[in-house]
Every structure is written in C-alpha cells, then in structure tokens.
Copies of this chain bind each other. A is one copy, B any other.
Amino acid sequence: MTDNAKPKDATGKDGWIAYRPSIKILDCTIRDGGLINDHMFDDKLVKGVYDACAAAGVDYVEMGYKGSKKIFSPSKHGKWKFCDEKDLLEIIGEKRDGIKISVMADAERTDYHEDILPKDKSVIDCIRVACYISQIPTAIDMLKDARDKGYETMLQLMAVSVVSESDLQAALAIAATSPAMGVYLVDSFGALYSEQVRYLMAMYLKAMEGTGKDVGFHAHNNRQLAFANTIEALIAGANRLDATISGIGRGAGNCPMELLLGFLHNPKFHLRPVLECCENIFHPLSKKMDWGYSIPYAITGQMNRHPRAAMELRAGKTPDDYVAFYDRMAEEE
C-alpha cells in the first residue's frame, strides 16, 4: 500500500508492492486467546509472545483485560484478566522501545477509576475500551478517564453486525467527538463479508473525517475470512489492525499474525520471530486447546449469531455433529 489513506486504485496495481507507514499492528494473542482458558496462560508463554511481537516489529501487544475484581474472582480467573502492574512488569522487565503495551477494559466490567493508574505509574501505553452500543455513555466516560490519566485511547464497538445502520451512525457521531484516538470496526460474530467490510469501513472513515482519529479493524475467523477481511479493511483505509499468533482467540479465533505479517511490506515487520513462536509455543498448545476455524463457527457466522452455541458444541462430546447443530441453529432463527 502507498502512503495515502486510500490506495491509488481499486485494481491495486501497485497496492501490494509499496506500503503505508501509518499502519499499526496490535497483537491480541494473550487477550483474545485468554477468552478460551479464563486468562490462565503461564508466564513463559506470555513472555514468549511478548518477545516474539517485539522482535517482529509489532506496534502493540495487548496483555489482557482490566477486569473488575468485584465481578470476577481472582481465584477463578488467570492474572491476565486483571493485568496488575506487578504481573505486567514480571513479563516486560525492562521496557523496550518500539513496542507498546495495551490492555482492554470492558464497559461495565472494569473499576476504571481505581484499577487504571495514572500513566506515570504504569507500563501500559494504551487503554482499549470495549462496549456494546447500549454502553456507549459508560465507554465515553472510561475513555475520558484514560485520556485524562495520560493514556492512548481506543474504542472497540462490538457486535456491529447486529446493530442498525442508523444506530451505528449515531454511535460513530458520538465516537467522533469522544476522547478516543481511534475507533475499531469489530466483527464479533465473524459475520461480515468483504463487501460489508468495505461498506462499513467507508462509513467509519467518513464519520471520523477531519478528527484525526484512526479507524481499526478486529476480525474473527468463523468463515476463514479474518485475514482476507483484514486486508480489505486495510485497503479501505484502516490503519490499525488486530491479529493473534496462530490465529488463537475466542471461538474461531482471529486474523493470524503470521499471515498478516507475510502480507505487509513495511520492512520494519519480521515474520520469522512469529513463526518461531508458532512452532515452539502454539503448535504444541494446539494439541491441548481447541481454537480456530471449524464448521460450527462457520454456521453461527453465516447466521450472524454469537458463537456461544458453537463454542459449547466444540467443548462438548460431539464437536463434529455439524448437521444436528445446523438444524438446531436454523430452528432458533
């Protein structure tokens, strides 16, 4: 891609030769992957991911959530549900140049006034606030809190594939005047086709026009479209892209970092450290944990439904009973 917000032409004649330096990659391996195992990754794995991302030239690594300890018991969740400062420090050690630390804060699930420290007391660089459309007012207050404390701020508006276009327009208008430095198009259900990604990206970019805010994209891989849709979002003008090593993440997982880095032509990115991490950490882990594309996720994605039922099927005794699952989902439509 070229240095412009939009590529020169739709044929992309030099689109895949050049690159756009403003593109920033966020690794959410530990954060989205933690949704599979209640955030119980051990330090060795987390450090392996952090080191791989730093060596790969990834811009941000998202370590987990800032979950409320009043809502989520620390005895039942791993430490990456909370991202306490001491736990982050244990992984990061001496902070490196070039890679920033991000955490996610869910609206109505974070004691943000208390648990998010002033920036000068934290190794965190960026707070990403995730919310459903009905939680926008809370999210805006969280973004304001984070901005005032000195952080970079991002808004992840979730599940937009089930939000009406007029509601979405209204939400984007609020986001455009909010303290968020960027807004992400989030395909929570893995339900978007490339045509919809292009359409929605155009809507998000238009809503942010003149504000200086970035637009980002977060994919799910329910129909093997996470990487493809991430490329489409990039071409359409998204400057902030999420990916995970080996595509780990809730349900069908996310855009695989190893594919995304193989596509990006900015020489600051390096694929090899991510391949090492795939080989040494995630390939062995895949024998013990289930993530990634499978037909039940394709079915919920096609139906624009939350992947919950598919996750339950995959975790149960009949993970490959596709037809019974399809019939049940179709009946519930």
* Interface residues of A, Cβ cutoff 8 Å to B: 10-13, 15-16, 193-196, 198-199, 202, 221, 223-229, 231-232, 235, 256, 258-259, 262-263, 271-272, 275-276, 278-279, 283, 293, 295, 298-299, 302, 320-323, 326-327
28 contacts between A and B (CB under 8 A): A10-B10, A10-B198, A11-B195, A12-B195, A12-B196, A12-B198, A16-B195, A193-B263, A194-B194, A194-B232, A221-B224, A223-B259, A224-B224, A224-B227, A224-B259, A224-B293, A225-B227, A225-B228, A228-B228, A262-B298, A262-B299, A263-B302, A272-B323, A272-B327, A275-B323, A278-B295, A278-B322, A279-B320
Shortest beta-carbon distance, A48 to chain B, in Å? 14
For residue A298, give the distance in angstroms from its CB to the closest CB of chain B.
6
Known A224-B227, A227-B223; judge A271-B326 contact (CB<8 A): yes
Main secondary structure of the interface of A (DSSP, over half): helix
Partner of A198, one of B11, B193, B258, B272: B11
A139 to B196, CA, bound (A): 40
Contacts of A320 in B (CB 8 A): 279, 283
Please name 15 further chain A to chain B contacts, defined as beta carbons within 8 Å, in addition to the given A221-B224, A223-B262, sorted by A numbering: A10-B10, A11-B198, A12-B195, A15-B195, A195-B235, A262-B299, A272-B323, A272-B327, A275-B326, A276-B322, A278-B295, A279-B321, A279-B322, A279-B323, A283-B322
Residues in B with CB closer than 8 Å to A256 are: 224
Complex Cα distance, B12 from A199, in Å, reads 7
Instruction: Tell me if A298 and B258 are in contact (CB < 8 A).
Output: yes
Report the bound CA distance from A299 to B275 in whole Å.
10
Given contacts A259-B298, A262-B223, A320-B283, are A228 and B275 in contact (CB under 8 A)?
A: no
Q: How many Å from the CB of A42 to the closest CB on chain B?
A: 21
